[in-house]
Structure 1
Amino acid sequence: MAKWFRFLKRDQPLSVYFFAVPRLSLNIMGYWPEKSGDRLPWRSIVNFVILAIGVITELHAGLRFLDQQQITLALETLCPAGTSAVTLLKMFLMLRYRQDLWAMWNRLRSLLFDIRPELPDQRQIRLNHSVMAARINFWPLSTGFFTCTTYNLKPILIALVLFLQNRDDDFAWFTPFNMTMPAVLLQSPFFPLTYIFIAYTGYVTIFMFGGCDGFYFEFCAHLSALFEVLQSEIRSIFKPYKDHLELSPEQLYNLEQRMRAVIIRHNDIINLTMFFRERYVIITLAHFVSAGMVIGFSMVNLLAVSNNGLGALLYVAYTIAALSQLLVYCYGGTLVAESSAELCQVMFSCPWQLFKPQQRRLVLFLIMRSQRPMSMAVPFFSPSLATFASILQTSGSIIALVTSFQ
């Protein structure tokens, strides 16, 4: 067990941190990207079918509660149902773009680790981003795991309390999530198996969220590292000529060749970013829409059960988990945008005037292309910390509005 969580330590090799949480989560579910020609792991199909059954039965139960005008139960059911439905979409898209994600992952690894020669500060940049990505990715996975476990233990804890209080008349078993199941499966001897099946659907959702969302943030963190490595490389290129007033033809030629290599590498990073963004556009958009609905449902339910300690704990955990997943996307988008935009400032601060007029076009080309920050934008919005702050502000307004009607 300790070997699995080595990425939480600081003194591990870089290979331990590289996509540690996404690899762990997606390997468990059978969705880690593989190259063309590899057969799908059987557990990926099994988990997809299990979650599909869970989503259909949960949505049916939620709509039935709405039809019966049981609003609290409907919101309590539709909240995890929406999360599971988006997870099902993520599972489909992870399989759909399996080969593309594998190719992007390998290209990212080559850009990140095949740096020759490597400066000490460049290695530190890669280490800092790798450790940060592993630890931040572990946070939403752990909060989601805690939330799912709370859901799964809630019926057992309630039954235990009623048993200890000798309230046999009120004793009744119910499932962790509200799903429409045949009556025979909710009775002995099948009820324990049904309970385990329903509980497992929650863990499928959690590990797929941890894997898919973690893959997104890890990719963004390493793209940011690549932009910062380029900044370091530009500084190192011009550092020997900082006090020069003019360069010899040989020095100009060497400087030009190194600048051309930087521009080629910059273009590769931009192309990789755009290709990755296109593959994740549907996932990002669906995640933000579902997370907004989940946060709204959770807050309404939290205010409705504020006098119920266990229920309040459940929805607090659910809200924290949803906000943590949103933060992963928003912070990842901010890292890419800020590091890519800073490249033009670094370039402008170097003694680029040492170039001849014809060679200065390389500098202008790099500055012009990096003046427009790389964005992980999807239709209607762009994931960033500013977007996350707006979501928090809107959530606070909703809480204040609902509270005023109580």
Structure 2
Amino acid sequence: MSKWFRFLQRDQQLDVYFFAVPRLSLNIMGYWPGKSGDTLPWRSLIHFVILSIGVATELHAGLRFLHQQQITLALETLCPAGTSAVTLLKMFLMLHYRQDLSTMWYRLRSLIFDPNWQRLEQQDIRLSYSVMAARINFWPLSAGFFTCTTYNLKPILIAMVLCLQKRCEEFVWFTPFNMTMPNVLLSSPFFPLTYIFIAYTGYVTIFMFGGCDGFYFEFCAHLSALFEVLQAEIESIFTPYKDLLELSPVQLYTLEQKMRSVIIRHNAIIDLARFFRERYTVITLAHFVSAAMVIGFSMVNLLTLGNNGLGAMLYVAYTIAALSQLLVYCYGGTLVAESSTELCQAMFSCPWQLLKPKQRRLVHLLILRSQRPISMAVPFFSPSLATFAAILHTSGSIIALVKSFQ
């Protein structure tokens, strides 16, 4: 077990932290892209079928409660159902873009582990971003796992409390999530198996969220690391010449070749970011829409439950998990946008005035290219910390509005 969680330690190699959480989660589910051309694991299709059954039965139960005007039960059912439905979409897109994701991952890995970037400051930048990404990704996975476990243990805990109070006759067994199941599966001897199946659908959702969302944040974090490594590369290129008044033809030629190399790598990083954004557009958009719905449902349920301790704890955990997953996308977009524009500042602060007009064109090209931030935007919005703050502000307004009607 400790081998799986080595990325939580401080003294590991870069390869241990690199995509540690997404690789762990997606490997369990069978959705890790792997090498291009690898056969698809059977467990990926099995998990897809399991979650499909869970989504269909859960949505049917939620709509039935809504038709019966049982609003609290309907919201309690549709909240996890929406999350599971988006997870099912993510599973489909991960399979659809499996080859592209594999290609992007190996391209990113070749850039991160580039043998030409072996200076101490460049190694520190890559390692710090990898450690940060691994630990941040572990938080939403842990919050989701805790939330799912709370859902799964809720019937058992209620049964234990009633048993200790000697009120066993008042208790009626129910499943962790509200799903429409045949009556034969909800009675002896099949009920324990049905309970396990329904509980397992929740963990499929959690590990797919942890893997798919973690893959997004890891990619953004390492793109940001590459931009910072380029900044360090530019500074190291000009450092030997910062005290000179004029450069020799040999020095100018050397600088020109190094600048061309930096521009080629810069273009490669930009192309990789755009290629990745296009593959994740639908996933990102669906995640934001579902997260907004989940946060709204959770807050309404939380305010409706009042002093119900176990139910309140359940929805607090659900809201924290949803906000954590949303923060992963927003923080990742901010990292890429800010680090991409900082490259022009690093270039401008170097003694570029020593160059001749021919070499200055390369400097101008790099500055112009990096003045526009690399955005991870999708239709209607752009993932950023400003967007996350706006969502929190709107959520607070909704809470105040609902409480005013109580």
TM-score range for the pair, normalised by the shorter chain length: over 0.9
CA distance in structure 2 between the partners assigned to 1:107 and 1:17 by the alignment: 17
1:72-105 CA-to-partner distances (Å, cap 9, x unmatched) read 0000000000000000000000000001000000
Residue 184 of structure 1 aligns to a residue whose secondary structure is helix
Unaligned runs of 5+ in 2: none
How far off is 1:169 after superposition?
Answer: 2.9
1:173-227 CA-to-partner distances (Å, cap 9, x unmatched) read 0000000000000000000000000000000000000000000000000000000
Q: 1:219 maps to what in 2?
A: 219
Residue identity matched to 1:182 = P
Q: 1:151 maps to what in 2?
A: 151
What is the correspondence of 1:128-277 to structure 2 with a 5 Å cutoff? 128-277=128-277
How far off is 1:119 after superposition?
Answer: 1.1
What is the correspondence of 1:3-402 to structure 2 with a 5 Å cutoff? 3-402=3-402
CA distance in structure 1 between the partners assigned to 2:390 and 2:286 by the alignment: 18
Residue identity matched to 1:255 = L
1:297-353 CA-to-partner distances (Å, cap 9, x unmatched) read 000000011210000000000000000000000000000000000000000000111
1:12-45 CA-to-partner distances (Å, cap 9, x unmatched) read 0111000000000000000000333321101000
CA RMSD of aligned residues (A): 0.7
8 A contact 2:162–2:171 mirrored in 1:
yes
1:360-390 CA-to-partner distances (Å, cap 9, x unmatched) read 1100000000000000000000000000000
Which is worse superposed, 145-154 or 110-119? 110-119
CA distance in structure 2 between the partners assigned to 1:36 and 1:389 by the alignment: 39
Residue identity matched to 2:15 = S
How far off is 1:168 after superposition?
Answer: 3.0
CA distance in structure 2 between the partners assigned to 1:47 and 1:321 by the alignment: 22
Residue 162 of structure 2 aligns to a residue whose secondary structure is helix
8 A contact 2:145–2:206 mirrored in 1:
yes
Residue identity matched to 1:242 = K
CA distance in structure 1 between the partners assigned to 2:67 and 2:151 by the alignment: 24
CA distance in structure 1 between the partners assigned to 2:317 and 2:142 by the alignment: 11
Q: 1:2 maps to what in 2?
A: 2
CA distance in structure 1 between the partners assigned to 2:177 and 2:255 by the alignment: 64
Q: How many residues align?
A: 406
CA distance in structure 2 between the partners assigned to 1:167 and 1:332 by the alignment: 50
1:144-189 CA-to-partner distances (Å, cap 9, x unmatched) read 0000000000000111111121213311100000000000000000
Residue 118 of structure 1 aligns to a residue whose secondary structure is coil
CA distance in structure 1 between the partners assigned to 2:198 and 2:117 by the alignment: 53
Residue 214 of structure 1 aligns to a residue whose secondary structure is helix
In the superposition, the TM-score normalised over structure 1's length comes to 0.99
CA distance in structure 2 between the partners assigned to 1:355 and 1:115 by the alignment: 28
CA distance in structure 2 between the partners assigned to 1:116 and 1:265 by the alignment: 12
Residue identity matched to 2:220 = C
CA distance in structure 2 between the partners assigned to 1:95 and 1:274 by the alignment: 20
8 A contact 2:36–2:103 mirrored in 1:
no
CA distance in structure 1 between the partners assigned to 2:275 and 2:267 by the alignment: 12
Residue identity matched to 2:236 = S
8 A contact 2:117–2:123 mirrored in 1:
no
Residue identity matched to 1:184 = V
How far off is 1:235 after superposition?
Answer: 0.1
CA distance in structure 1 between the partners assigned to 2:125 and 2:214 by the alignment: 20
CA distance in structure 2 between the partners assigned to 1:323 and 1:165 by the alignment: 37
Residue identity matched to 1:354 = L
8 A contact 2:143–2:320 mirrored in 1:
yes
CA gap 1:181/1:117 in 2 versus in 1, 3 angstroms: closer
CA distance in structure 2 between the partners assigned to 1:168 and 1:114 by the alignment: 64
CA distance in structure 2 between the partners assigned to 1:205 and 1:288 by the alignment: 16
CA distance in structure 1 between the partners assigned to 2:117 and 2:18 by the alignment: 21
In the superposition, the TM-score normalised over structure 2's length comes to 0.99
Q: Which runs of 4+ in 1 moved over 4 A?
A: none
How far off is 1:115 after superposition?
Answer: 3.5
CA distance in structure 1 between the partners assigned to 2:3 and 2:119 by the alignment: 30
Which is worse superposed, 241-250 or 109-118? 109-118
CA gap 1:331/1:308 in 2 versus in 1, 3 angstroms: same
Which is worse superposed, 160-169 or 148-157? 160-169
Unaligned runs of 5+ in 1: none
CA distance in structure 2 between the partners assigned to 1:97 and 1:18 by the alignment: 21
CA distance in structure 1 between the partners assigned to 2:329 and 2:37 by the alignment: 31
Residue 359 of structure 1 aligns to a residue whose secondary structure is helix
Residue identity matched to 2:24 = L
How far off is 1:117 after superposition?
Answer: 4.8
